[in-house]
């Protein structure tokens, strides 16, 4: 089995300490987290973690089950890149005089799908959103002009096949969840365990 990139989506309660509880499940297994984002989800009061790791599927599947077992985790999924729509965002700070003098800024921005968020006399901040390679190629382009600061956000991802969490949550709130979400679904299709 070969390692590949997996995006793990975890629906949780919004609880202090839960980030740590989830993060240490990776470090315990000496798995590096490539990117981690926490945010609200489509459902009020439900939180959503998006975690990217490089691992073999077997490890990911077991890890996701362990995550889902945590008391405050509602549901956890893992997906390969083709099963999700994802984006990352980056900010670049460059000296305004150099960049204005040496390049046609308009063309540069257009070429990389970037936009200027701040333009001051001393520096300019560009922003771009996309896949990692796109963000990185803009670094390359800006480096010659003295890139002062660079920062990239964690990945956010939407699962293509997902119908969202609204319906599922209703079931979770019942004392006895209905047949549809009896959470034995991985037993139906053992190979596609936590995909929706």
Q: How many CB atoms lie within 10 A of CB 172?
A: 14
CB of 52 to other proteins, least distance (A): 22
Which helix (H) or strand (E) segment holds residue 97: the answer is helix 96-102
Q: Does 175 bind other proteins (CB under 8 A)?
A: yes
CB of 30 to other proteins, least distance (A): 14
Q: How far apart are CA 168 and CA 32, in angstroms?
A: 30
| Contacting range for other proteins; rule: CB under 8 A; set: 61-69, 86-94, 129-137, 154-162 | 61-69
For residue 66, the Cα-to-chain-centroid distance in whole angstroms is 19
Count residues near other proteins (CB under 8 A).
30
Q: Does 182 bind other proteins (CB under 8 A)?
A: yes
Q: Does 12 bind other proteins (CB under 8 A)?
A: yes
Place of tokens 């999924």: 77
Q: How far apart are CA 7 and CA 78, in angstroms?
A: 6
Question: What phi, psi does 73 have (nearest 5°)?
Answer: -95, 130
Q: Does 66 bind other proteins (CB under 8 A)?
A: yes
Q: Does 172 bind other proteins (CB under 8 A)?
A: yes
Rg (CA), the chain: 20
Residues that bind other proteins (CB under 8 A): 12-13, 16-17, 20-21, 24, 28, 62, 65-66, 68-69, 71-74, 169, 172-173, 175-177, 179, 182-184, 186-187, 190
């Amino acid at each position: 089995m070969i390692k590949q990139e997996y995006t793990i989506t975890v629906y949780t309660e919004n609880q202090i300490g839960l980030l740590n509880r989830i993060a240490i499940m990776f470090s315990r297994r000496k798995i590096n987290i490539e990117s981690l984002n926490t945010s609200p989800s489509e459902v009020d009061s439900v939180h959503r973690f998006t975690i990217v790791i490089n691992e073999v599927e077997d490890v990911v599947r077991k890890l996701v089950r362990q995550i889902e077992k945590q008391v405050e985790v509602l549901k956890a999924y893992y997906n390969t890149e083709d099963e999700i729509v994802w984006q990352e965002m980056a900010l670049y700070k460059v000296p305004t005089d150099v960049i204005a003098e040496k390049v046609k800024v308009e063309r540069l921005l257009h070429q990389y799908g970037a936009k200027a968020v701040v333009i001051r006399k001393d520096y300019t901040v560009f922003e771009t959103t996309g896949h990692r390679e796109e963000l990185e190629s803009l670094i390359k382009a800006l480096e010659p002009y003295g890139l002062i600061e660079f920062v990239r956000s964690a990945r956010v991802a939407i699962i293509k096949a997902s119908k969202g969490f609204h319906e599922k949550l209703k079931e979770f709130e019942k004392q006895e969840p209905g047949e549809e979400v009896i959470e034995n679904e991985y037993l139906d299709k053992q190979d596609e365990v936590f995909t929706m």
